[in-house]
Structure 1
Amino acid sequence: MTRLFEKTYLKPGAAPGHGAHASEHPHTGDATVSAWHYHHEQLSELDAQRTLRDGAGAHAGGLVWLHLQGTPSSQQLHAMGEAFGLHPLALEDVRHQGQRPKVDFFEGQLVAILRQPRHHNGSVELDQVNVFMVGERVVISVHSGEHDPFAPIRERMRSANRNFNRLGAAYLAYALMDTVIDQAFPVLEHISGRLETLEETVLDQPDRNTLNQIHILRRELLVLRRQLWPTRDVIARLMRDDLEPFTPELFPYLRDAHDHTIQIMDLLESYREMAATLIEAYMSAINQRSNDVMRVLTIIATIFIPLTFLVGIYGMNFDNPDSPWSMPELYTYYGYPVVWLVMLSVVAGMLYFFRRRGWL
């Protein structure tokens, strides 16, 4: 089940940027590091470890893109911070997962944090993505998940996409954020299918497992809304602030990404309403089923009320032949079959009456 709260915190009272220093945390495993150089519409792979250690100074012209897949170790963060001059607070946000999507500006640096949803073992998981733009020619991306979602961007760079060459690092940073944003659409499509399946189940055969699935889905939608809603503000701020790399020429692309965030939020709100409606439909279906059961039981009890009255009367056995108040039918030759005929006639008459009233 998707966790509502997953952020890791420093010890209260710790200094800001505490989590960025390698000496303060044990070695917990390294992220996979890759690096590329893009120049004159050509993409070439670099020595990743050397780029992480020495920065991009050795590559004149073009763009340098450093990508870390997985959660970086403290040693990697320390090396990256030293090589590219990254602010300790930005590195701390990489170290401690579960951050709210946001964008921060430091001297000559832009840092954006986004959350990418994905399906894992039948539930929704959220990976954190940190995008650094250092100056006008260096972009660093850190993706906490197991699989790299940015392979299509490298294919676009290899296919001589002129926007990367014309708009530089700002366009690459936009492309990374746009890819993360669009990853929500397949997840929402899967949720839509689950909603349709649950709706059919609620109308046909609702049970307690159905209710559990609805609650799990509502929980996932709540987590997605809480983590994806601020993404819209991130893109809006990039268009609103006077940032040198994000020129008006890039604004149409940012508006397109902003439009995608609005579509995602509209879908999320619609699905949340549908999930709430499903709970109401489930309760209505359960109540209707209970009413149907009670109606059948009431009809059966109502049918047996006059029959019980008849057999109760004739079960009293007041058979004194000298009393004028004795039951005359007790010694009737055809009394027994006549009583059965009367009871069956009562049952048939009541069933006919119930059907005419629409109760059956």
Structure 2
Amino acid sequence: MARKPFHFFRAEPPANVEIPPEEDDDDNYLDYFYDEQGTLPGTLTIEADAPIPDIILIEYDKDRAVRLNLDSPEAFIPYLETPTVSWIDVQGLGDENVLQRLGRVFGLHPIVLEDIVNVPQRPKVEDHDHQLLLITRMVTPKEDGRGFYTEQVSLVLGKSYLLTVQEEPTRDCFDLVRQRIRTNRGTIRQNGCDYLLYALIDAIIDGFFPVLEDYGERIELLEDEVVANPSRETLEEVHQIRRELLALRRAIWPQRDALNAMIRDRSELLSDDVQIYLRDCYDHAIQVLDMVETYRELAASLMDVYLSSVGNKMNEIMKLLTIISTIFIPLTFIVGVYGMNFNPEASPLNMPELNWYWGYPACWAVMIGISAFLFGYFWRQGWFKNFSSVDD
């Protein structure tokens, strides 16, 4: 096969493939794949809307780097035993025949191929014969900064190759790694496949930080909103953030355990230098997990603050109604008394003030005086202060 110059660009999905609406990703935040009852081991479950696989090969050493679009998995066979580093990136899971052939080319166990294709799986690491399988969750922030996209990335490390399988061909967080290979920046082209594995893992872990920064800003805005002006929309936003943070926790927690297993159970495919770099990835995973737990606690406290704010708002309303009712109680008593049908001509004791010349103005003066007295008394007691609002 003739080699083409290495051009760095994002692969576009085939024109005849319909990419599912991105809004549907929200519904899969908390899902894990499970086999139907009675399914044979190694059965591949292909989703109807999964993109057709696009197979990209990046081959490099310290002197050169080339990028090839492969028409079939078998086209990679000549590169299996080459001394160069071969990174084959499969983007899309929409063709069972191609995936089965891919498994035969790389000698993947049917259970391994099942874990790669039947998504989403729980992140994990498995050491097979001359191969190291790592399943991870990759997140990328949405364009509007509200939420994230998530997909499974499977990495299979061999002696001279690294196989990566992604769900979607339209987005990932590997652009900087590809750029480092193309421009020979850093030491990535001076190292082997295990260093490339570390670089991709590091990119996946670091991809959590922009997402968490968006959640930090959203939580900060919600803290002011739940105190100053809590509403139904505020409650829905808090609930959505708690749900998404739970999905992030489910993604990063098992990845931390997988990295720990890679460091603890030394594989013959990982050099000592790469083991040190993996420890740095593990530290980043711990940092991400700490941030996720912190934001989850803040989101939980926002729910309590929201309930308290709504309760305080209701108390202010009840206090205002109580003040109005208290002022009108004596006034109602007075007009109720003078609304009785006593005949003043029958007895001099039957409401003689009804015949006074200044009786009506005097009644008004007494009612206004009582109202003013109660209003002033409540004012001095501080009943008119709003205790539910906070100054900016």
- TM-score, structure 2 length as denominator? 0.85
- 1:215 is matched with 239
Conserved? CA contact 2:31–2:120, under 8 Å: yes
CA distance in 2, matches of 1:144, 1:244: 28
- 1:198 is matched with 222
CA distance in 1, matches of 2:181, 2:284: 22
Conserved? CA contact 1:2–1:223, under 8 Å: no
Mapped pair 1:150 → 2:177: no
Mark the CA change 1:198 to 1:37 in structure 2 (over 3 Å): closer, same or farther. Answer: same
Moved more, 218-227 or 343-352: 218-227
- 2:95 is matched with 73
Aligned partner of residue 18 in structure 1, secondary structure: coil
Could you tell me which amino acid in structure 1 is paired with residue 165 of structure 2?
V
- 1:246 is matched with 270
Mapped pair 1:308 → 2:332: yes
Q: How far apart are 1:13 and its partner, in Å? A: 2.3
Conserved? CA contact 1:65–1:140, under 8 Å: yes
Mapped pair 1:7 → 2:29: no
- 2:22 is matched with none
Could you tell me which amino acid in structure 2 is paired with residue 90 of structure 1?
V
Mark the CA change 1:59 to 1:247 in structure 2 (over 3 Å): closer, same or farther. Answer: closer
> How does 1:1-360 map onto structure 2 within 5 Å?
1-19=26-44, 29-49=51-71, 52-57=74-79, 60-120=82-142, 122-134=146-158, 136-145=159-168, 146-161=170-185, 163-321=187-345, 323-360=347-384
Aligned partner of residue 118 in structure 1, secondary structure: strand
Q: How far apart are 1:165 and its partner, in Å? A: 4.0
Could you tell me which amino acid in structure 2 is paired with residue 293 of structure 1?
I
Q: Which runs of 5+ in 2 are unaligned?
A: 1-25, 385-392
Moved more, 309-318 or 330-339: 309-318
CA distance in 2, matches of 1:108, 1:313: 100
Conserved? CA contact 1:64–1:137, under 8 Å: yes
CA distance in 2, matches of 1:254, 1:41: 26
Q: How far apart are 1:10 and its partner, in Å? A: 3.2
CA distance in 1, matches of 2:100, 2:228: 58
Mark the CA change 1:327 to 1:235 in structure 2 (over 3 Å): closer, same or farther. Answer: same
CA distance in 2, matches of 1:186, 1:109: 32
Mark the CA change 1:324 to 1:25 in structure 2 (over 3 Å): closer, same or farther. Answer: closer
Could you tell me which amino acid in structure 2 is paired with residue 220 of structure 1?
E
- 2:11 is matched with none
Aligned residues: 356
Q: How far apart are 1:29 and its partner, in Å? A: 4.9
Could you tell me which amino acid in structure 1 is paired with residue 182 of structure 2?
R
CA distance in 2, matches of 1:51, 1:204: 59
Moved more, 142-151 or 252-261: 142-151
Conserved? CA contact 1:129–1:141, under 8 Å: yes
Q: How far apart are 1:355 and its partner, in Å? A: 0.6
Conserved? CA contact 1:41–1:161, under 8 Å: no
Moved more, 107-116 or 192-201: 192-201
Conserved? CA contact 1:118–1:126, under 8 Å: yes
Moved more, 190-199 or 6-15: 6-15
CA RMSD of the aligned region, Å? 2.2
Mark the CA change 1:161 to 1:59 in structure 2 (over 3 Å): closer, same or farther. Answer: farther
Conserved? CA contact 2:343–2:350, under 8 Å: yes
Q: How far apart are 1:247 and its partner, in Å? A: 2.2
Q: Which has the higher helix share?
A: 1
- 2:388 is matched with none
Q: How far apart are 1:228 and its partner, in Å? A: 1.5
Q: How far apart are 1:40 and its partner, in Å? A: 2.5
In percent, how many aligned pairs have the same letter? 37
Conserved? CA contact 1:69–1:148, under 8 Å: no
- 2:23 is matched with none
Mark the CA change 1:37 to 1:72 in structure 2 (over 3 Å): closer, same or farther. Answer: farther
CA distance in 1, matches of 2:141, 2:49: 29
Q: How far apart are 1:350 and its partner, in Å? A: 0.2
Please give the per-residue CA displacement for 1:267-311, whole angstroms capped at 9, x wherever unaligned.
Answer: 111111111111111101110110000000000000000001111
Aligned partner of residue 64 in structure 1, secondary structure: strand
- 2:16 is matched with none
